[in-house]
Structure 1
Amino acid sequence: MLRTSIMSRRRLVTLAATGAAVIGTLASLRANEYDVGAIGVVRLTRAALTVFQIGTHYKTKLYSGKLDKESPEYAKLKSEVHLYGAQKLLDLCCANKGVYIKVGQHIGALDYLLPAEYVKTLRILHSSAPQSSFPDILTVIKEDFKKDAYEIFKSIESVPLGTASLAQVHKAVLLDGRSVAVKVQHRAVKSNSYVDIKTMAALVKITSWVFPDFKFDWIVDESKKNIPQELDFTLEGRNAEKVKSLFKDFHWLKVPSIFWEFSSSRVLTMEFLEGGHVNDVDYLRAHNVNLYEVSGKLGRLYSRMIFVDGFVHSDPHPGNILIRKRDHEAEIVLLDHGLYATLSDQFRWEYAKLWLAILNGDRIQMRKYAETLGVGDLYGLLVCMVSGRSWDTIMAGIQKTKFTDSEREAFQEELPNVLPQISEVLERVNRQMLLVLKTNDLMRGIEHTLKTQARMSAFIEMSKCCVHSVYDEKQKSCKTSLSRWLVSLERQWSLVRLSVYYVYLGVINFDLHKSVEALWTNEFYSF
């Protein structure tokens, strides 16, 4: 009787907290003159109720103290409770759509933070986001261009090519006969986003109360910063043009051209490009695409983005990367340029030095550069999150130990034991690191699907780019032509040594003549 009374009081406290958060959020939105409206109240209440249901389920089922936490029965129950919470969260994302889908996709990429039940359940949102109706799509086009869609397009297909959290893409034909892809924002997503972000801030406070060991404020902070950028399609168009210019020397990279005369803040018309999704192994094999070539090129592209240019495409999930065979080689088509991380020079240099310390197994340097990124005594955990490798492997020599499925499984089994600490790392770390971690995770997921980790091609490309980043910093402090030349020579020699080392490990082919020639040119980067 006493236990029932205590549980009832706990539910009452949770419900009161949820209700207070809802009322507080509504008041805040009204005070800031956001039009909440009936739909906004429904969405807000639905979200609060979901958090209440999940929290109550955890407290009554998992935290009742009836089972020994080391018993198989507890492990089975914990998995069932996680699955319940994940399904409730998925239902909420699908019902509220918009920003909720975007956050759900982010959660679906957090292999290192959340239980597998959440990651696997929410990962479906990367490919199965809810659709807007075709009449709504035509309405958005008419609202933005003040003319009927068929005055702009000769035809537009009613079934979308793909649907994402904030928009969906339809194939269309311009009046002059050119085929285009038209990205159209879901009609209500922009107006709902203000309410959604405020709601999430309130719900995160409740979640932190239910799970005091975890800190999720960083998710809200990132959403507040990133969602407005992603909702402005003119910014996405400019990002696409910038990355096309930055990587014009990568002849195998294709970025769709933008048709500005048929674009607005909610409609983006771009060149129509075909190809298979990067995770569609059957398609790639049917078209004789070399999976290691794809993995190597993606490694080169993203390593240069992160370590050299500091302009990083931050949503590389499989739906945004197409592969096609052109002139006997794999061509990469990069889509969805709404979210980019712009990294400062200082961050790039410190991050590159951290990676070189990881590659060298230098514990002292790892600690030094992890501390500059804000994590302090949790440097070992950050190193594991950055590399996706176990601490034992890192200390044994990450370059000497090829990644295996058994290491991946052991790594994931260990994660539940350090989840609160991982949450602390994400709360402390330099904000620029958050999108980089997300990008790293998505890229590792692609490598896992392609089964190309053993070749270590991404490590090869990343190592080269780290060297370039570190020596770029050195060159900036040079005062004379001679000192710059000596630094350049040191850079090239480091790259040659790196390649010889990988040859020794048997992971790449090596052309000695080409490497020696590269010492006296600036062409080693493409080697």
Structure 2
Amino acid sequence: MTDTYPKHGRAVPSSRLNRLWHLGRATTDLATGIGMRGLLDLARRGDATGEPLQISPEAFQRFTNRLARMRGAVMKVGQLLSMDGSDVLTPEAAAILGTLCNRAEPMPLSQLAAVLETEYGANWKQRFKRFHFTPVAAASIGQVHRAETADGRQLALKIQFPGVRESIDSDMDNLGALGRALGWLPRGVDLKPMIAEARRQLHQEADYTHEAQALATYRRLIGDGADCIVPEVHHDFSTGRILAMDFLDGVAIDQLAAPSFKRQERDRAANLVMELVLRELFAFGLVQTDPNFGNFLYQPDSGRVVLLDFGATHPVPPAIVAGYRDLIRAAMAEDRHAMHRSAIALGFAREDAPAIQVEAMLDLMGLSSEMMRHQGPYDFGVSDLFKRLYERGRQLYNDGAFSQLPDPSSVFLYRKILGAFMLCRRLRARVDLPHLLAPYL
């Protein structure tokens, strides 16, 4: 066995009452950072200025610390907020929240040992030649440890936090109640279908047996290409709460934004991820819907993208695939009538929506497809598109245009597509979307 366990690990709160207390503390920290005026603006939903929320870095640090300690569904929501908050939050707050992607607190050694003994038996240490007690990563559902088996295999062991699976339902109930209390939902919206889908997906992500099957399926679909690589599952070391797979090295893909990496590497990585998203949708009909940047590693030596975390992998119904193809075609052709028909088919628009809302929505869709109509590589590094989208979208939100949510499966697919665009923006990459889309349209 190797290395010592980090001393700062703290137990994962597991009871509903304990998690509710931590969520309340997190909300108090956030409220303190926003201040009374900010809270009133949020509650009334009357702030249509488009100005970023002014939250003190100290308060936001306390907020993210609390989410990192809670793990589970609450932290997952925080990670989604961190995908790109720079147009909504101050740059300091967005940067702090962004650390949630890879900084869940590890569980203490006592909890880790209990999980290993429960899953592998009292003599679990005999199965390993080396076991690194310091996790190489910790996220919302579990943490990852590197290990070498007695027969010499180099593995990454994804070990689930105790109590996280059992706390999903109470976390979602608490978050829903918090959102309603603070007025963070569009007027008149029925959020129940979306919460039900989020709850279902979180339960699926906590089912490591299901993830092992999804990982194996995805690995077959990717094949042995030179651009992307998927780790292989080791079933003899996998259980319901431990997923064992090949250990593959690389740097977190969003770290390519650092000055030490060349622009050509940023462009290559972004184009590979965007091409993969299109293959998932139009060729595989199977999409890993979690856009967390931590799910991608980049190997500078080989130029390959390593794909991780397949807990949120879902098949896409052919009707939705066809709907997105039609919508993209219409947007690229700037055919507003066809865009409207496709938006209704996908559930993004209502048949009976007021004409003024329809026109505003089509303007927003046309704006969002700007990079698809651009001839040659679109430079995300100099574009202010996301700021313009945020300002337009916020106005529609305040006007009640989003009172009906589309089919949840379509929304989570949209989240993955948006996440890929956010990565392109984070890397300040140049991406030739018309070229990547051509084989599928």
Per the alignment, do residues 426 and 211 of structure 1 end up closer, same or farther by CA in structure 2, a change over 3 Å counting?
Answer: closer
Give how far 1:143 is off: 0.6
Per the alignment, do residues 216 and 52 of structure 1 end up closer, same or farther by CA in structure 2, a change over 3 Å counting?
Answer: farther
What is residue 491 of structure 1 aligned with on the other side?
Answer: none
Which of 173, 185, 190 is the equivalent residue of 1:198? Answer: 173
1:298-337 pair list within 5 angstroms:
298-325=273-300, 330-337=303-310
C-alpha RMSD of matched pairs (Å): 3.8
Question: Is 1:131 matched up with 2:106?
Answer: yes
Per the alignment, do residues 341 and 110 of structure 1 end up closer, same or farther by CA in structure 2, a change over 3 Å counting?
Answer: farther
TM-score when normalising by structure 2: 0.80
Give how far 1:299 is off: 2.0
- Counterparts of 1:170 and 1:198 in 2: how far apart (Å)? 31
The residue identity in structure 2 corresponding to 1:223 is A
The residue identity in structure 1 corresponding to 2:68 is C
The residue identity in structure 1 corresponding to 2:324 is Y
- Counterparts of 1:102 and 1:144 in 2: how far apart (Å)? 25
What is residue 347 of structure 1 aligned with on the other side?
Answer: 320
1:117-266 pair list within 5 angstroms:
119-208=94-183, 213=187, 217=191, 220-248=195-223, 250-266=225-241
Q: Contact 2:208–2:243 (CA<8 Å) still a contact in 1?
A: yes
What is residue 99 of structure 1 aligned with on the other side?
Answer: 73
The residue identity in structure 2 corresponding to 1:449 is R
Q: List gaps (5 residues or longer) in structure 1.
A: 1-36, 468-527
Per the alignment, do residues 360 and 436 of structure 1 end up closer, same or farther by CA in structure 2, a change over 3 Å counting?
Answer: same
Which of 372, 385, 398 is the equivalent residue of 2:345? Answer: 372
Give how far 1:171 is off: 0.6
Question: Is 1:61 matched up with 2:37?
Answer: yes
Question: Is 1:437 matched up with 2:378?
Answer: no
Give how far 1:182 is off: 0.7
Give how far 1:170 is off: 0.6
Q: Contact 1:160–1:170 (CA<8 Å) still a contact in 2?
A: yes
Give how far 1:93 is off: 1.5
User: After alignment, is 116-125 or 153-162 more displaced?
Assistant: 116-125
Work out the percentage of aligned pairs sharing the same amino acid: 19
Q: What's the secondary structure of 1:203's corresponding residue?
A: helix
Question: Is 1:277 matched up with 2:252?
Answer: yes
1:404-483 pair list within 5 angstroms:
405-408=382-385, 410-411=387-388, 414-415=391-392, 417-418=394-395, 420=397, 425=402, 427-453=404-430, 456-465=431-440, 467=441
- Counterparts of 2:196 and 2:400 in 1: how far apart (Å)? 14
Per the alignment, do residues 95 and 219 of structure 1 end up closer, same or farther by CA in structure 2, a change over 3 Å counting?
Answer: farther
What is residue 19 of structure 2 aligned with on the other side?
Answer: 43
Q: What's the secondary structure of 1:429's corresponding residue?
A: coil
Q: Contact 1:132–1:186 (CA<8 Å) still a contact in 2?
A: yes
The residue identity in structure 1 corresponding to 2:117 is K
Per-residue Cα deviation, 1:131-174 (whole angstroms, up to 9, x for no partner): 11233222212112223331222221011111111111111000
Per the alignment, do residues 149 and 346 of structure 1 end up closer, same or farther by CA in structure 2, a change over 3 Å counting?
Answer: same
Q: How many residues align?
A: 416
Q: List gaps (5 residues or longer) in structure 2.
A: 1-12
Q: Contact 1:159–1:170 (CA<8 Å) still a contact in 2?
A: yes
Q: Contact 1:112–1:385 (CA<8 Å) still a contact in 2?
A: no
- Counterparts of 1:227 and 1:413 in 2: how far apart (Å)? 27
- Counterparts of 1:330 and 1:148 in 2: how far apart (Å)? 40
Per the alignment, do residues 382 and 140 of structure 1 end up closer, same or farther by CA in structure 2, a change over 3 Å counting?
Answer: farther
- Counterparts of 1:250 and 1:46 in 2: how far apart (Å)? 45
Q: Contact 1:278–1:322 (CA<8 Å) still a contact in 2?
A: yes
Give how far 1:334 is off: 0.4
Q: What's the secondary structure of 1:265's corresponding residue?
A: coil
- Counterparts of 2:386 and 2:198 in 1: how far apart (Å)? 31
Q: What's the secondary structure of 1:171's corresponding residue?
A: strand
Q: Contact 1:310–1:348 (CA<8 Å) still a contact in 2?
A: yes
Q: Contact 1:382–1:425 (CA<8 Å) still a contact in 2?
A: no
- Hey, which of these two has a bigger chunk of helix by percent? 1
Q: Contact 2:364–2:393 (CA<8 Å) still a contact in 1?
A: no
Q: Contact 2:281–2:316 (CA<8 Å) still a contact in 1?
A: yes
Q: What's the secondary structure of 2:113's corresponding residue?
A: helix
